[in-house]
């Protein structure tokens, strides 16, 4: 709902309101962003006014010695009129350095689409605030997109130059939100390859904190999403603001606090190498920044963003569409496979219950390692004589869909594409090039390169029955020549234009985003890719961290997680399959290991996991997500998903201690007065896990490292404990039912909970429907 009354503008979602005020010098301020206000009655009381300016501050003009822009809650800040915070908008003209925007109008539009950038769909309303420069014919439109159902407001700015002279934009934030400090803590994520999205918490202090990417993509260094919470805010209560950017390139998000504890939050494209010349009658539009607020804690903030992504960012046809269980051959074979190996994996995957077989890197041209072939998207018929068509038909016969890996933005020098078109790669034509994984980046800021990339993907997808595409991007951008002044922006909008066309051509093909894992995971990519490969790190303990960071801002339907082999390729940590499943099932499940190496017991185990996942797929992919803590703060962590009919709780353990505490099953958001039944998922614990202790029960001595135990372990495991019972919601939400005694060095049978280091358990909770009085 948007209302305009006198100097005030009220923009509301179902539970939040944003209030803008046009002050006495016609500057627009954001004076309120918090819980919903039904009308503007009394809203004047929310506005801080000053009797006079203080100390060495400067007044905005001669007649207003009570207004210093340094203290106002400006919706946009520029330099040169007394505002000493970092500007949200930095412009230049050869005869002018100071730009001063004041209120012009506010209109409600029927619809609006951002120029060459993704616009999350199905907003309830969109309002346009127009500011004008006081002396020059330059306009700044600020668009407010209201996503009422999920309490998200999107903001984008558009600068229009109606002057004859060019203007240069050095910086344009999409959103500036002024707040006053309330003992705020800033929570951002940081990371690297195979270690994405780790949570970082820090107190908001005076000065400026910037999280940004200069890699060319949104990057794994920091995700563009972040939140600030009040000191006493927990996962389930308290004030919290969440932010994100619908953009996939270099970004610059910051939080700045001055002596008076006034805060300005800014989100936008990076000002690094950004020099946009806007000529007469031209305009420039910034990507959308989004924000949400709740007084009900971090889980509610996440819920708002999860709904926003599911209902407004991902394409409509994928909303609530079951995501198939994937098998991907990368960690099993890397580049080294033959058609018969792929056939064998396909047959085994299908028997396990897999629904979509994905052929990863190495299927095309001369691509037998990462030094050649990238860019030439013709099938290697020596390796795969029946071609993509043959493979997709084979998958179909086995009742599976077929998917494919491509890395369309990249090229190896040893390729036909590079030999014919060295001009397609990003290069400054002066320096030696820099290489990432022996590859170069195609210059998607150029139309002819966009056309090549579009055609190569189009032709590939047309060549067989392909239901899924994993679009990879395995190195950052270097060696650019920023002739246009907006090279990085042009690259990303070039990519968006290719994706826009491909999505129209193949609306039912599921595109999975990947950039060496999560090196470009953001709301821009999710606008075209309904799911995203989170990380090349398939170690389940590391995944808990990665999924924790991702889960703060992105819904489970977008997180693609695979169960890989027991000894992690990345961490060399041994974790048994059930734990790997218990982590991977919170999202879109897949498998990525050599199925030819599985024992009979492994096969039974994985079959049971897949059957369990299928039975509860809806809640794993679309359920409401909750957690109780950050894993770095505790020895264990709870995550929960819940839909109307069921709740699944996982308990993740970090390190096992010899003095385990009494453990309880705790859940969130149940009905206090209802009875629930809970059951742990039955697991199989490999005998090898017990080491030399096996000799306490074995009639003959067994070498714990020897071949006998290895052989037995292929056929036999120990059943895990079963924790089940009935319990009131009120109890489950407070102390919770007691779980079985945890293993602490003596006596093992089905009454003992053997979780061990980095272990996990999951529990199903359902309303208890049996009549107790019968």
Q: How far is CA 363 from the centre of its chain?
A: 29
Which burial class, exposed, middle or buried, applies to 532 when counting CB atoms under 10 A from its CB (0-12, 13-18, 19+)?
A: buried
Other Cβ atoms closer than 10 A to 48: 11
Among the residue ranges 441-449, 510-518, 628-636, 657-665, the one whose residues contact ligand GLA (CB under 6 A)? 510-518
Contact by Cβ (8 Å): 736, 670? no
The helix/strand/coil state of 690 is: helix
The DSSP code for 734 is: T
Which is it for strands 401-406 and 468-471: parallel, antiparallel or unpaired?
parallel
Closest C-alpha among 52, 56, 12, 268 to residue 147: 12
- Whole-number minimum distance, CB 147 to ligand GLA, in Å? 31
405 lies in the site for ligand GLA, by CB under 6 A: yes
Question: Which among 472, 578, 602, 723 is annotated as catalytic?
Answer: 472
- Whole-number minimum distance, CB 377 to ligand GLA, in Å? 14
536 lies in the site for ligand GLA, by CB under 6 A: yes
Whole-angstrom Cα distance, residue 77 to residue 614? 52
Window 644 to 663, contacts with ligand GLA (CB under 6 A): none
Half-sphere exposure of 582 (CA within 13 A, CB side): 29
Residue 405 or 418: which CB sits closer to ligand GLA?
405
Residue 570 or 679: which CB sits closer to ligand GLA?
570
Whole-angstrom Cα distance, residue 79 to residue 60? 12
State the residue number with the nearest CB to ligand GLA. 361
Window 353 to 382, contacts with ligand GLA (CB under 6 A): 360-361
430 contacts: CB under 8 Å, gap ≥ 6: none
Which burial class, exposed, middle or buried, applies to 237 when counting CB atoms under 10 A from its CB (0-12, 13-18, 19+)?
A: middle
Residue 253 or 534: which CB sits closer to ligand GLA?
534
- Whole-number minimum distance, CB 374 to ligand GLA, in Å? 9
Which value, to the nearest 10 degrees, does the dihedral of the CA atoms of residues 171, 173, 178, 181 take?
Answer: -80
474 lies in the site for ligand GLA, by CB under 6 A: yes
528 lies in the site for ligand GLA, by CB under 6 A: no
Whole-angstrom Cα distance, residue 380 to residue 397? 22
Whole-angstrom Cα distance, residue 697 to residue 674? 44
- Whole-number minimum distance, CB 412 to ligand GLA, in Å? 12
521 lies in the site for ligand GLA, by CB under 6 A: no
Residue 249 or 517: which CB sits closer to ligand GLA?
517
The DSSP code for 139 is: E
409 lies in the site for ligand GLA, by CB under 6 A: no
Tokens matching residue 556: 């489970």
Among the residue ranges 122-130, 287-295, 382-390, 514-522, the one whose residues contact ligand GLA (CB under 6 A)? 514-522
Among the residue ranges 136-144, 160-168, 509-517, 593-601, the one whose residues contact ligand GLA (CB under 6 A)? 509-517
Question: Which among 536, 539, 578, 602 is annotated as catalytic?
Answer: 536
- Whole-number minimum distance, CB 335 to ligand GLA, in Å? 8
Contact by Cβ (8 Å): 731, 720? no
The helix/strand/coil state of 22 is: strand
Whole-angstrom Cα distance, residue 596 to residue 618? 30
Other Cβ atoms closer than 10 A to 8: 18
Residue 40 or 589: which CB sits closer to ligand GLA?
589
Task: Please report, for residues 424, 439, 443, 450, the alpha-carbon distance to residue 447 in angstroms, rounded to integers and kept in the order given.
Answer: 10, 21, 9, 5
Select from 100, 158, 409, 472 the one that contacts ligand GLA (CB under 6 A): 472
514 lies in the site for ligand GLA, by CB under 6 A: yes
- Whole-number minimum distance, CB 407 to ligand GLA, in Å? 7
- Whole-number minimum distance, CB 37 to ligand GLA, in Å? 46
- Whole-number minimum distance, CB 330 to ligand GLA, in Å? 5
Size of the site for ligand GLA (CB under 6 A): 11
Window 38 to 77, contacts with ligand GLA (CB under 6 A): none
- Whole-number minimum distance, CB 655 to ligand GLA, in Å? 29
- Whole-number minimum distance, CB 549 to ligand GLA, in Å? 17
Other Cβ atoms closer than 10 A to 316: 12
Residue 514 or 649: which CB sits closer to ligand GLA?
514
Residue 193 or 480: which CB sits closer to ligand GLA?
193
Give the DSSP per-residue string, 615-671: HTHHHHHHSEEEESS-GGGSSEEEEEEE-SS-EEEEEEESS--SSPPP-B---SS--
Select from 517, 551, 729, 759 the one that contacts ligand GLA (CB under 6 A): 517
Q: Is 539 a catalytic residue?
A: no
Residue 293 or 330: which CB sits closer to ligand GLA?
330
Residue 536 or 721: which CB sits closer to ligand GLA?
536
- Answer positive or negative: Cα dihedral of 115, 119, 123, 126: negative
Q: Is 360 a catalytic residue?
A: no
Binding mask 266-305 for ligand GLA (x = CB under 6 A): ----------------------------------------
Residue 77 or 474: which CB sits closer to ligand GLA?
474
- Whole-number minimum distance, CB 521 to ligand GLA, in Å? 11
- Whole-number minimum distance, CB 723 to ligand GLA, in Å? 36
Tokens matching residue 439: 């590859």
Q: Put residue 151 in one of left, alpha, beta given phi > 0 → left and psi -120 to 50 → alpha.
A: left
Contact by Cβ (8 Å): 267, 174? yes
723 lies in the site for ligand GLA, by CB under 6 A: no
Task: Please report, for residues 251, 284, 303, 325, the alpha-carbon distance to residue 293 in angstroms, rounded to integers and kept in the order given.
Answer: 22, 28, 11, 34
Among the residue ranges 16-24, 501-509, 513-521, 603-611, the one whose residues contact ligand GLA (CB under 6 A)? 513-521
Task: Please report, for residues 77, 216, 272, 499, 549, the alpha-carbon distance to residue 212 in angstroms, rounded to integers and kept in the order given.
Answer: 20, 11, 10, 24, 17
476 lies in the site for ligand GLA, by CB under 6 A: no
Closest C-alpha among 614, 663, 610, 670 to residue 640: 670
Select from 145, 226, 243, 330 the one that contacts ligand GLA (CB under 6 A): 330
Residues 103, 105, 109, CA angle at the centre, nearest 5°?
140
- Whole-number minimum distance, CB 328 to ligand GLA, in Å? 7
Among the residue ranges 232-240, 512-520, 738-746, 754-762, the one whose residues contact ligand GLA (CB under 6 A)? 512-520
Q: Put residue 161 in one of left, alpha, beta given phi > 0 → left and psi -120 to 50 → alpha.
A: beta
Tokens matching residue 102: 């004041």
Contact by Cβ (8 Å): 735, 728? no
516 lies in the site for ligand GLA, by CB under 6 A: yes
Contact by Cβ (8 Å): 518, 197? yes
Residue 361 or 443: which CB sits closer to ligand GLA?
361
Other Cβ atoms closer than 10 A to 234: 14
542 lies in the site for ligand GLA, by CB under 6 A: no
Residue 533 or 541: which CB sits closer to ligand GLA?
533
Residue 330 or 489: which CB sits closer to ligand GLA?
330
Residue ranges that bind ligand GLA, judged by CB under 6 A: 330, 360-361, 405, 472, 474, 514, 516-517, 533, 536
Q: Known catalytic residues?
A: 472, 536
């Amino acid at each position: 709902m948007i209302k305009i009354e006198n100097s005030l503008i009220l923009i509301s979602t179902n539970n939040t309101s944003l209030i803008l005020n046009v002050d006495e010098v016609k500057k627009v301020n954001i004076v309120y962003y918090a819980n919903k206000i039904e009308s503007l009655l009394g809203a004047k009381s929310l506005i801080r006014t000053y009797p006079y300016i203080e100390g060495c501050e400067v007044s905005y003009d001669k007649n207003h010695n009570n207004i210093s822009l340094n203290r106002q809650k400006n919706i946009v800040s520029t330099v040169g009129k007394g505002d000493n915070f970092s500007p949200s908008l930095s412009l230049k003209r050869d005869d002018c350095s100071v730009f001063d925007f004041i209120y012009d109008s506010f209109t409600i539009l029927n619809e609006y689409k951002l120029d060459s950038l993704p616009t999350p769909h199905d907003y309830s309303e969109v309002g346009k605030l127009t500011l004008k420069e006081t002396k020059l014919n330059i306009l700044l439109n600020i668009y407010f997109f209201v996503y009422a159902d999920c309490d998200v407001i999107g903001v984008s700015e558009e600068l229009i130059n109606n002057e004859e002279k060019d203007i240069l934009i050095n910086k344009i934030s999409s959103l500036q939100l002024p707040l006053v400090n309330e003992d705020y803590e800033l929570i951002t994520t940081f990371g690297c390859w195979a270690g994405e999205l780790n949570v970082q918490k820090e107190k908001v202090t005076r000065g400026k904190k910037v999280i940004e990417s200069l890699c060319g993509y949104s990057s794994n260094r920091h995700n563009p999403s972040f939140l600030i919470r009040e000191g006493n805010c927990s996962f389930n209560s308290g004030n919290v603001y969440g932010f994100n950017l619908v953009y996939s390139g270099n970004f610059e998000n910051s939080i700045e606090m001055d002596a008076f504890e006034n805060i300005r939050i800014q989100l936008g494209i990076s000002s690094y190498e950004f020099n946009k010349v806007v000529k007469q009658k031209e305009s420039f539009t910034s990507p959308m920044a989004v924000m949400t607020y709740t007084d009900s804690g971090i889980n509610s903030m996440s819920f708002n963003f999860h709904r926003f992504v599911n209902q407004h960012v991902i394409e409509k046809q994928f909303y609530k569409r079951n995501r198939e269980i994937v098998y991907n051959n990368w960690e099993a074979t890397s580049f080294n496979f033959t058609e018969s190996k792929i056939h064998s994996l396909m047959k085994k995957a299908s028997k396990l219950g897999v629904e979509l077989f994905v052929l990863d890197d190495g299927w095309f041209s001369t691509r037998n390692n990462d030094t050649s072939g990238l860019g030439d998207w013709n099938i290697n018929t020596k390796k795969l004589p029946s071609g993509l068509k043959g493979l997709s038909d084979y998958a179909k016969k086995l009742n599976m869909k077929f998917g494919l890996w491509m890395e369309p933005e990249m090229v190896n020098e040893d390729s036909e594409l590079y030999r014919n078109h060295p001009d397609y790669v990003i290069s400054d034509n002066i320096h030696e090039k820099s290489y990432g994984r022996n590859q170069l980046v195609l210059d998607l800021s150029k139309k002819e390169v966009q056309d090549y990339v579009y055609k190569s993907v189009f032709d590939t997808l047309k060549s067989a029955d392909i239901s899924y595409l994993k679009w990879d991007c395995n190195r950052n951008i270097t060696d650019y020549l920023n002739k246009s002044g907006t090279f990085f922006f042009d690259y990303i909008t070039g990519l968006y234009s290719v994706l826009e066309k491909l999505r129209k051509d193949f609306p039912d093909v599921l595109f999975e985003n990947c950039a060496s894992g999560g090196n470009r995971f953001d709301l821009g990519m999710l606008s075209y890719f309904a799911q995203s490969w989170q990380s090349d790190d398939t170690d389940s303990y590391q995944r808990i961290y990665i999924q924790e960071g991702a889960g703060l801002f992105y819904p489970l339907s977008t997180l693609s997680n695979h169960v890989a082999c027991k000894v992690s390729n990345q961490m060399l940590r041994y974790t048994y399959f059930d734990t790997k499943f218990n982590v991977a099932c919170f999202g879109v499940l897949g498998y990525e290991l050599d199925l030819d190496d599985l024992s009979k017991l492994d096969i039974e185990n994985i079959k049971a996991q897949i059957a369990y996942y299928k039975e509860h797929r809806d809640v794993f992919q679309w359920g409401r997500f909750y957690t109780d803590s950050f894993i770095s703060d505790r020895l264990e962590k709870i995550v929960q998903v819940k839909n109307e009919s069921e709740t699944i709780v996982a308990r993740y353990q970090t390190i096992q201690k010899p003095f385990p505490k009494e453990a309880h099953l705790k859940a969130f958001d149940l009905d206090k007065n209802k009875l629930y039944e809970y059951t742990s998922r039955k697991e199989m614990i490999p005998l090898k896990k017990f080491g030399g202790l096996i000799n306490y029960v074995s009639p003959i001595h067994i070498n714990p490292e020897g071949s006998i135990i290895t052989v037995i372990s292929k056929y036999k495991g120990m059943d895990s404990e079963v924790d089940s019972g009935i319990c009131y919601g009120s109890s489950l939400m407070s102390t919770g039912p007691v779980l079985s005694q945890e293993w602490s060095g003596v006596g093992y049978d089905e009454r003992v909970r053997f979780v061990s280091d980095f272990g996990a358990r999951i529990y199903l909770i359902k309303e208890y429907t049996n009549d107790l009085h019968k």
